[in-house]
Amino acid sequence: MTIKLFTLLMQAALYTLGISIVSIVIGFAIAILLSAAMLSGKGIYIAPARLFISFFRGVPLLVQLLLIYTLLPVIGINVPSIVAAIIGLSLCTAAYQAENLRGGFDAVPKGLVEAADVTGFNPRQTFFRIRVPIALRLTFPALVNEAIMILKSSSLVSVVGIIELTKMAQDLSSSTYLPIPIFASAGAIYLVINWAIALVAGRVERSLPKVTA
């Protein structure tokens, strides 16, 4: 295990990080739409959102990635494999984040909403000034968990040929015949990134206001 190998792994880790961050952000945007549909109270929106969430939570990510890889060219969409990988990760994390958001909205204390009504907030103000900020605050820990999950899950895009940390480790392992130090280093890099995320998130969470009913 030389410095050169480790540098290659670190460079690949940047790809892992980039893919994960982009997927989390796109996933969050889709999750907002999904949870809005779930909270709309209209069956016509709820049914497809529920189907989407159930599917992407019920099928292994690896299978989702294979499906998207195969499906996109068939329906005439030819995109680079990295784009297909990001689409796959985004859709998957969107389903989980939507459930988290819905849980957050359900957990907003009723008393606070009633208090807003009594104080003369109109429904729109109650929604944007009371329910949304509180729901987001309640969802924060779950969002951090999901970020860590996606960072780990992004290792699966190696299977469809994206050269990120796991794929780089695999290639280096077969060319140098040093699987133990290389995979252990790759694992350590994932671990350090996850610890860093957890550490920063913990700091941020302590600085956020507490929600009490």
Spatial separation of the C-alpha atoms in residues 68 and 80, rounded to whole Å = 12
DSSP per residue, 99-129: HHHHHHHHTS-HHHHHHHHHTT--HHHIIII
Spatial separation of the C-alpha atoms in residues 91 and 97, rounded to whole Å = 10
Q: Which stretch binds other proteins (CB under 8 A): 93-101, 135-143, 145-153, 204-212?
A: 145-153
One of 3, 44, 180, 213 touching other proteins (CB under 8 A): 180
Q: Does 71 participate in binding other proteins (rule CB under 8 A)?
A: yes
> Sign (positive/negative) of CA torsion 22, 44, 52, 144?
positive
One of 20, 23, 35, 64 touching other proteins (CB under 8 A): 64
- Number of Cβ within a 10 Å radius of residue 115: 13
Q: Which stretch binds other proteins (CB under 8 A): 53-61, 82-90, 111-119, 200-208?
A: 53-61
Given the complex with other proteins, which of 132 and 173 has the nearer CB atom?
A: 173
How far apart, in Å, do the first and last CA atoms of the chain sit?
55
Q: Does 63 participate in binding other proteins (rule CB under 8 A)?
A: yes
Q: Does 195 participate in binding other proteins (rule CB under 8 A)?
A: yes
Q: Give the x/- contact pattern for other proteins in 1-40, rule: CB under 8 A.
A: ----------------------------------------
Q: Does 62 participate in binding other proteins (rule CB under 8 A)?
A: yes
Q: Which stretch binds other proteins (CB under 8 A): 21-29, 30-38, 101-109, 167-175?
A: 167-175
Exposed/middle/buried for residue 159 (C-beta within 10 Å: 0-12, 13-18, 19+): middle
Given the complex with other proteins, which of 29 and 107 has the nearer CB atom?
A: 107
What would the two tokens of residue 81 be?
């494999």
Whether the CB-CB separation of 89 and 157 falls below 8 Å is answered with: yes
Give residues in contact with other proteins (CB under 8 A): 54-55, 57-64, 66-67, 70-71, 74, 148, 152-153, 155-156, 158-159, 166, 169-170, 173, 179-180, 183-184, 186-187, 190-191, 194-195
